[in-house]
């Protein structure tokens, strides 16, 4: 198996929008490749996607042909090799030789690839004053939406944060474990208390943590800090009936039942039947009980659910702009039209959930988006169109109209949480 062929296969899957890069890289069949080769493939693919527009800019500077007229396979070979030359530690001559050999075996552009890559080895663009869309590899639509939502200073911090490695956060499952930190530290893991969540920890050396008995037995979940915060803000009570309308992969539902000590009934819904199996897997692993599973399109009203629920969590499908550092293709492909369609979907779901909520019930609306269109503007929609009353959320000792977590903050990625009550 040729690792550079595999790199091209994976980048083509991402280009075709076959799924998020994090999932594609995790589930791809690497055959009999050893761990070192797999790690190299993952790093090269991720780095190329993360820097796509900058890489294309460099190629265009070194090529006599317009980049949009290149054969797709030739372009992917050039992108892969240019990424290796600019960002990886492999020797330039080895990268060029491998890319030229690959080009000769599957295309008729061997000499062209050789000429371009030798120019790439010589070029220096560090002194050039590049536009932000090239420098940070973000499409102009999305950059414009960020500039609409934030000050220039904050946008610059966001653009830089898209290249940060996320903190590795785990959440103790108190249905099964009360001494997680001590037990993992005794095995050599370095854990720091999470800055704003109890029973959550940032792991400094997580490399083999999924191999531990504690993980396999569901004594903790690998979970960004924002997820368990949603469950806390929902204020689930014992003997209540709860709906998690877009529940996959089920970790928030597990958090909710942990808070109620399995004494509430939670309905977990997802439109994707395959994701229901993933929810069940997490629920069973975490010893969560009193769970009902549903599989319907949340944008379609279910009349039998009207006035049924005391609590509803709407963790809505969104642009996922808060998790770009995990899935960098988002900043390449997400458009204004995508966001408009997502907002329409979010509002259809919210309209239905308002009908499902009992009088006096609480609804929490959350997204992993950074955009006002999906966050603050939907808060206004919920208040003014659905007539739910917004409730302040206490966070770090202050009362907030909503919580917006930023990807440059410790222990979290970009996330938005708001809370409402039905009078």
Listed by start position, the domains of the chain span 3-125, 224-422
The length of the chain in residues reads: 423
The residue among 40, 143, 110 whose CA lies nearest residue 371 is 143
Rounded Cα distance between 146 and 156, Å, is 10
Instruction: Render the burial of 221-242: b for 16+ CB within 10 Å, e for the rest.
Output: bebbbbbbbbbbbbebeeebbb
Rounded Cα distance between 168 and 172, Å, is 13
Residue numbers belonging to the annotated binding site: 246-252, 270, 297, 315
Rounded Cα distance between 53 and 68, Å, is 12
Question: For residue 201, what pLDDT is reported?
Answer: 96
Total Cβ atoms within 10 A of residue 271: 17
Rounded Cα distance between 335 and 145, Å, is 9
The residue among 347, 240, 257, 243 whose CA lies nearest residue 304 is 243
The residue among 254, 305, 256, 255 whose CA lies nearest residue 283 is 254
Question: For residue 2, what pLDDT is reported?
Answer: 80
| Residue listed under structure tokens 């190329």 | 48
Q: What is the pLDDT of residues 334-384, one digit of tens each?
A: 999 999 999 999 999 999 999 999 999 999 999 999 999 999 999 999 999
The residue among 235, 243, 237 whose CA lies nearest residue 355 is 243
CA angle 391, 392, 396 (to 5 degrees): 150
Q: Which residue positions in the chain have pLDDT lower than 70?
A: 1
Q: What is the pLDDT of residues 372-403, one digit of tens each?
A: 999 999 999 999 999 999 999 999 888 999 99
Question: For residue 1, what pLDDT is reported?
Answer: 55
Strand, coil or helix: 269 = strand
The residue among 303, 305, 331, 307 whose CA lies nearest residue 319 is 331
The residue among 313, 297, 312, 379 whose CA lies nearest residue 345 is 297
List CB contacts of 284: < 8 A, sequence separation 6 or more: none
Q: CATH assignment of 3-125?
A: 1.10.940.10
Rounded Cα distance between 123 and 48, Å, is 18
Show the tokens assigned to 42.
């993952």
Model confidence, pTM: 0.94
Handedness of CA 172, 177, 179, 182 (dihedral sign): negative
DSSP 257: H
List CB contacts of 137: < 8 A, sequence separation 6 or more: 50, 51, 52, 53, 54, 55, 328, 331, 332
Residue numbers belonging to the annotated binding site for S-adenosyl-L-methionine: 246-252, 270, 297, 315
Active site residue 368: yes
Strand partners, 315: 366
Fold of 224-422: Rossmann fold (3.40.50)
- C-alpha distance from residue 18 to each of 58, 101, 321 (Å): 27, 28, 18
Residue 409, phi then psi, degrees to nearest 5 = -85, 155
Question: For residue 216, what pLDDT is reported?
Answer: 95
Annotated catalytic residue, options 62, 254, 286, 368: 368
The residue among 148, 21, 122, 150 whose CA lies nearest residue 62 is 122
């Amino acid at each position: 198996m040729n690792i550079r062929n595999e790199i091209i296969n994976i980048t083509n899957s991402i280009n075709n929008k076959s799924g998020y890069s994090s999932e594609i890289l995790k589930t791809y069949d690497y055959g009999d490749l050893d761990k070192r080769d797999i790690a190299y493939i993952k790093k090269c693919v991720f780095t190329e996607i993360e820097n796509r527009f900058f890489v294309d800019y460099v190629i265009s500077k070194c090529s006599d042909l317009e980049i949009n007229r290149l054969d797709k396979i030739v372009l992917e070979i050039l992108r892969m090799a240019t990424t290796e030359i600019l960002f990886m530690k492999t020797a330039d001559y080895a990268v060029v030789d491998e890319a030229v050999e690959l080009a000769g075996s599957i295309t008729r552009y061997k000499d062209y690839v050789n000429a371009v890559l030798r120019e790439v080895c010589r070029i220096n663009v560090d002194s050039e004053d590049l536009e932000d869309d090239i420098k940070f590899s973000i499409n102009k639509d999305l950059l414009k939406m960020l500039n609409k939502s934030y000050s220039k200073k904050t946008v610059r911090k966001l653009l830089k944060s898209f290249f940060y490695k996320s903190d590795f956060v785990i959440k103790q499952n108190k249905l099964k474990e009360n001494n997680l930190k001590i037990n993992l530290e005794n095995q050599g893991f370095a854990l720091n208390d999470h800055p704003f969540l109890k029973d959550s920890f940032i792991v400094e050396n997580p490399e083999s943590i999924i191999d531990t008995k504690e993980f396999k037995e569901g004594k903790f979940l690998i979970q960004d800090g924002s997820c368990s915060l949603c469950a806390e803000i929902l204020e689930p009570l014992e003997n209540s009936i709860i709906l998690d309308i877009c529940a996959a992969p089920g970790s928030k539902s597990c958090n909710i039942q942990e808070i109620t000590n399995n004494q509430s009934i939670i309905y977990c819904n997802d439109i994707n039947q395959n994701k229901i199996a993933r929810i069940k897997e997490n629920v069973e692993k975490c010893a969560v009980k009193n769970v009902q599973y549903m599989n319907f399109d949340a944008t379609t009203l279910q009349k039998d659910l009207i006035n049924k629920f005391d609590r509803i969590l709407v963790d809505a499908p969104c642009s996922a702009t808060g998790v770009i550092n995990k899935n960098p293709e988002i900043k390449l492909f997400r458009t204004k039209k995508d966001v408009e369609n997502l907002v329409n979907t979010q509002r259809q779901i919210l309209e239905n959930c308002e009908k499902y909520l009992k009088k006096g019930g609480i609804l929490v609306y959350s997204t992993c988006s950074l955009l006002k269109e999906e966050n603050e503007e939907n808060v206004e929609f919920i208040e003014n169109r659905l007539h739910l009353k917004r409730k302040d959320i206490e966070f770090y000792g202050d009362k907030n109209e909503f919580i917006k977590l930023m990807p440059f903050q410790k222990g979290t990625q970009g996330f938005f949480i708001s809370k409402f009550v039905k009078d």
